[in-house]
């Protein structure tokens, strides 16, 4: 998946779990635009992360979206909001799950996902040591450093 300079999202490749968010299970042999259907239509994408069976998308308004396999908690989408085992188009992960804080960093792993908010809180969900169906906070501090126009982030224990 790639994000263009104007915030459009395109994807191609394996799509057997709807992880490209194109609305189907068909392998995409050529680049196709993501987000032409569903509630994410018209959203400008800031960045994207791809797991093996799901993808996470962050839009310019700091909203986190997910698509792909959703019967497991990988996407962080409430089971009541997804009618099938797949989120075929990007579905919004509600800000309430992050205590209404903006997501600034995020990751999509093989069987888990993670996000760090503007308040320095780390949220994880999916399979792993602590199996959880929805984002939950993990104690962690984050400090933002700015030097010569470069902005980097370093993590440290509380």
Phi, psi for 73 (deg, rounded to 5): -80, 15
pLDDT tens for the 158 residues of the chain, in order:
999 999 999 999 999 999 999 999 999 999 999 976 556 677 789 999 999 889 999 988 888 888 988 765 666 765 555 456 888 888 888 766 788 888 889 999 887 888 888 888 888 887 764 545 555 555 554 444 333 333 344 444 33
- Separation between Cα atoms, residue 99 and residue 131, nearest integer Å: 20
For 81, residues 6+ apart whose C-beta sits below 8 A from its C-beta are 91
- Separation between Cα atoms, residue 62 and residue 59, nearest integer Å: 5
pTM of the model: 0.76
CATH number of 2-156: 2.130.10.30
Secondary structure (3-state) at 99: coil
- Residue 21 C-beta-side C-alpha neighbours within 13 Å: 30
């Amino acid at each position: 998946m790639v994000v263009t300079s104007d915030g459009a999202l395109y994807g191609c490749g394996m799509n057997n779990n709807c992880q490209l968010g194109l609305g189907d299970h068909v392998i995409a042999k050529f680049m196709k635009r993501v987000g032409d259907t569903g509630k994410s239509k018209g959203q400008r994408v800031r960045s994207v992360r791809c797991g093996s069976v799901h993808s996470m998308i962050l839009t310019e308004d700091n909203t986190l979206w997910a698509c792909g396999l959703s019967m497991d908690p990988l996407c962080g989408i409430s089971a009541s909001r997804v009618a099938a085992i797949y989120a075929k188009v990007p579905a919004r992960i509600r800000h309430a799950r992050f205590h209404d804080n903006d997501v600034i960093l995020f990751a999509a792993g093989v069987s888990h996902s993670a996000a760090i908010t503007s308040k320095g809180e780390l949220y994880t969900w999916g399979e792993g040591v602590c199996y959880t169906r929805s984002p939950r906070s993990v104690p962690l501090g984050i400090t933002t450093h700015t030097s010569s126009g470069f902005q980097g982030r370093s993590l440290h224990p509380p």
